[in-house]
Amino acid sequence: MTVTVRFLPDDVTITAEAGEPMLAVAQRAGITIPTGCLMGSCHACEVELGDGTPVCSCISSIPPSSEEVTINLYSDPLW
């Protein structure tokens, strides 16, 4: 299943396969997501999905969706 993925705030849109690792898709789109542990515990890589759900991108993959998936790399002032 092909999913359209949109990265904010850079507003880069790319197509990906459902289940592809989020970091790999971001890299292909030329987006750098800051990472640390790569194990889902430090939250350095946290991004927000279109519905506002925070996820650790290092352990997440592209969800199957018939609609565009938005991945928001908000910059957390606490970091």
Nearest Cα neighbor of 22 from 74, 48, 61 is 61
> Is 24 among the residues that bind ligand FES (CB under 6 A)?
no
Task: Determine phi and psi for 48, rounding to 5 degrees.
Answer: -120, 130
Question: Residue 18 corresponds to which tokens in the numbers above?
Answer: 């459902």
Q: Among the candidate windows 2-10, 13-21, 43-51, 62-70, which touches ligand FES by CB under 6 A?
A: 43-51
Contact between 64 and 43 under an 8 Å Cβ cutoff? The reply is: no
> Is 44 among the residues that bind ligand FES (CB under 6 A)?
yes
> Is 36 among the residues that bind ligand FES (CB under 6 A)?
yes
Contacts with ligand FES, residue ranges (CB under 6 A) = 35-38, 40-45, 56, 58
